[in-house]
Amino acid sequence: MRFWQLFTRSLKETYRDPLALGFLLAFPLIFMLVFGAAFGSDTTPSYDIGIIDNDHTEVSQGFIDQAISQISIFEVTSFDDTDSAREELKLGEISAYVVIPGGFSTQVSQIMQGMEGDIVLNITYDESEPMISEQIISSVNAATRQFAQIEIPVTINTDPINIGVDITQMDFIATGIIVFGLLIMIPTSGRIMLRDKESRFLYRMLTTPAKPWEFIAGYSLSMVLLATIQIFFFILLGWLFGMDIIGSLWLAFALFLLTAICSIGIGMVVASLSKSENQGESLSWLFSMPLAILSGVWFSTEFMPSYMRTFAGIFPFSHAVEASRAVITRGVGMEAISGDFLFLVSWAAVVFIIGTILFSRTMRS
């Protein structure tokens, strides 16, 4: 009856580790709760929109205040000229901008008086997020027709910012897939340390002059080397499947490497807090999968509630996704993503300091 003995032994090991068992049972529930909170409700997205008023009349100002600004999904910013608005669009600060041409008030007045008229608006949008542009255009169209009290469509001239560049769906999702692949290094790095802890290897090493930071550095450097190789293959496969890298390849590589370092550091912290490999594995996945959802790995964060985006912004992965997409799909430089880059650097430094402190206390105990 060795089969039955092995079965009972395995079952006892499972329920004798209540923390790991709790995570095992709670993981599907928490995963569903996070996914449902992010996308399950009737969520209203929010887009930053620029407005350039070249008509400079009371009617055009009324159109901005009473129509465009009243669209619930828009956060409106006024610009003096198209050059400044286009620069903000390239930097990713706004999703689109609307130009109200001269003669707008005349056309609106004629239509309101029952005369013929043609209302023309010019919209320039960021085509690197293809799901957003259609919603912006349709919302502006509907608001304009309601303001002018007409049923016929409004003439909207569209101008994608990446003129001459074929932005595919692969360009959008490839960066998210790469960041998700690096997120998986959280359970991977934690598992390696916990395996050495359970095999008593780390305790034997305590008899040597090695210090806690040397343990952390030793584990981390090997994982960073693996991450570097992993990033190389991720980018290569993305390119083979049609991902176009418009910006600096080295800048994108640096962003991904910082993301990997953050994941490795988090894995080290999880390993320091866990008593067994089962605990560490469960806690790592419980941490990494919800973050993958909230960070925009598979879906645009514009469709999530603002409080969910704010929570995701505390962690490095949403910054990594946004910055790498800006570099790869829009070709921006360091000046546009410096805030996200410094955030990743700070996170990597802090998490390794915390990991070293926790590891030192764990080993002493």
Residue 249 and residue 359 in one domain: yes
The last residue of one of the domains, among 139, 160, 181, is 160
Pick from 338, 353, 8: which is nearest to 213 by CA? 353
248 falls in which pLDDT band (50, 70, 90)?
A: confident
Highest-scoring range by mean pLDDT, 33-42, 216-225, 331-340: 331-340
Residue 209 carries which DSSP code? S
> Contact, 325 vs 175, CB < 8 A?
yes
31 against 323, higher pLDDT: 323
**In the prediction, which pLDDT does 204 show?**
64
129 falls in which pLDDT band (50, 70, 90)?
A: low
Range of 89's domain? Answer: 47-160
Q: Rounded CA gap, 160 and 363, in Å?
A: 57
Encode burial over 101-140: b for 16+ CB neighbours within 10 A, e otherwise: bebbbebbeebeeeeebebbbbbbbbbbbbebbeebbebb
Pick from 151, 156, 173, 149: which is nearest to 98 by CA? 156
Q: What is the pLDDT of residues 132-166, one digit of tens each?
A: 777 888 888 888 878 877 766 677 777 666 544 45
Strands 74-79 and 47-53: parallel
Residue 140 and residue 205 in one domain: no
Residue 204 and residue 282 in one domain: yes
255 falls in which pLDDT band (50, 70, 90)?
A: very high
Residue 148 and residue 184 in one domain: no
Domain contains 16: no
Number of domains in the chain: 2
Q: Please report, for residues 119, 219, 268, 282, the alpha-carbon distance to residue 223 in angstroms, rounded to integers and kept in the order given.
A: 59, 6, 11, 20
Residue 89 and residue 115 in one domain: yes
Domain contains 344: yes
Domain contains 42: no
Strands 120-125 and 96-100: antiparallel
Phi and psi of 64, rounded to 5°? -65, -45
169 against 82, higher pLDDT: 82
Q: What is the pLDDT of residues 195-242, one digit of tens each?
A: 766 666 666 666 666 666 666 677 777 778 888 888 888 888 878 877
Q: Rounded CA gap, 261 and 130, in Å?
A: 31
Residue 132 and residue 243 in one domain: no
3 falls in which pLDDT band (50, 70, 90)?
A: very low
Residue 197 and residue 130 in one domain: no
Residue 326 and residue 231 in one domain: yes
Pick from 45, 60, 61: which is nearest to 139 by CA? 45
268 against 2, higher pLDDT: 268
Q: Rounded CA gap, 263 and 37, in Å?
A: 24
Q: Exposed/middle/buried for 74, CB within 10 Å: 0-12, 13-18, 19+?
A: buried
Q: Any alpha helices (H) in the chain, and if so which ranges?
A: 2-15, 18-35, 58-63, 82-90, 104-112, 130-148, 169-183, 185-198, 201-205, 212-240, 249-273, 277-294, 306-312, 316-325, 334-364
Query: What is the sign of the dihedral through the CA atoms of 129, 131, 134 and 137?
Result: negative
Residue 282 and residue 359 in one domain: yes
Residue 260 and residue 314 in one domain: yes
The last residue of one of the domains, among 115, 132, 160, is 160
Residue 153 and residue 296 in one domain: no
Domain contains 360: yes
Domain contains 3: no
Residue 327 carries which DSSP code? I
